Structure 1
Amino acid sequence: MNAAAGPTLVYVYAVTPPAPVLEGVLAHLTGVSGSPVTLLAPSGEGSAPVAFVVSDVPYADWAEDMLKHRFEDLRWLEETARAHHLVIETLAAHITVLPLRMATLYQDRTRALQALQLQGQEFATQLARLSAHTEYGVKIYVRPAAEPDPAAAPAPATPGKAYLQARRAHHHAREDHYRQAQSAADRIAGIAQDHAAQYVRHAPQSGPLAAQADGENVLNYAFLVPDARAEAFQAALHEVAEALPGIRLEVTGPWAPYSFATASATPPVPPGSPMA
Structure 2
Amino acid sequence: MTGLRYVYAVCRPFRAPLQVQLTGIGGAPPAVLQHHGLVAVVSTVPEGEFSEDALRARLEDIDWLATTARAHQGVIDALTTVTTPLPLRLATVFRDDSGVRSMIEAREDDFRRALDRLEGRVEWGVKVYVESEPARPAAAAPARAASGRDYLRRRRESTHAQDELWQRAETFAQSLHERLSGRAEACRLHPPQNAALSRATGRNVLNAAYLVRRADSEEFVETVDRTKDEAPGIRVELTGPWAAYSFTQEFAGNATGAGEGL
Specify if TM > 0.5. yes
| 1:235 equivalenced with 2:226 (yes/no) | no
Deviation, structure 1 residue 209: 4.9
Contact 2:181 2:210 in 1 (8 A): no
Cα deviation for residue 254 of structure 1 reads: 1.4
TM-score by length of 1: 0.81
CA shift at 1:208, angstroms? 4.1
Partner Cα distance (1:246, 1:207) in 2: 17
Q: Which amino acid aligns with 2:63?
A: R
Aligned to 1:9: 4
Aligned AA (2:184):
A
Stretch moving more, 95-104 or 215-224 = 215-224
What is aligned with 1:255? 242
The aligned residue for residue 108 of structure 1 is 96
Q: Deviations over 1:72-110 (max 9, x none)?
A: 111111111111111111111111111111111111111
Q: Which one of 12, 18, 23 corresponds to residue 30 of structure 1?
A: 23
Question: Is the CA contact 1:37–1:53 (under 8 Å) kept in the aligned structure 2?
Answer: yes
- State the shift of 1:228 in Å: 2.1
Distance (Å, rounded) in 2 between the aligned partners of 1:207 and 1:87: 28
1:224 matches 2:211: yes
Match of 1:20 in 2: 15
Count matched residues: 248
Q: C-alpha displacement at 1:231, in angstroms?
A: 2.1
Give the RMSD, CA atoms, in angstroms: 2.4
CA distance in 2, matches of 1:38, 1:178: 49
- Looking at structure 2, the residues matched to 110 and 27 of structure 1 have their Cα atoms a distance apart, in angstroms, of 27
- In structure 2, the residue corresponding to 1:190 is in which secondary structure? helix
The SS at the match of 1:242 is: coil
Structure number with the bigger relative contact order (C-alpha 8 A, sep ≥ 6) is: 2
Q: TM-score w.r.t. structure 2 length? A: 0.85
Deviates more, 1:27-36 or 1:128-137: 27-36
Give me the whole-angstrom Cα distance separating, in 2, the residues matched to 1:81 and 1:189: 29
CA contact (8 A) 2:190 2:207 kept: yes
Aligned partner of 1:244 in structure 2 is 231
Structure 2 portions without partners, runs of 5+? 255-262
CA contact (8 A) 1:210 1:216 kept: no
Question: Is 189-198 or 66-75 further displaced after alignment?
Answer: 189-198
Contact 1:195–1:226 (8 Å) recurs in 2: no
Deviations 1:98-137 (A, max 9, x none): 1111111111111210111221222122112111211111
In structure 2, C-alpha distance between the alignment counterparts of 1:34 and 1:262, rounded to whole Å: 27
Q: Which amino acid is the alignment partner of residue 234 of structure 1? A: V
Measure, in 2, the Cα distance between the counterparts of 1:18 and 1:27.
18
Which residue does 1:215 correspond to in 2?
202
Deviates more, 1:215-224 or 1:72-81: 215-224
1:192 has 2:180 as partner: yes
> In 2, distance between residues paired with 1:193 and 1:218?
16
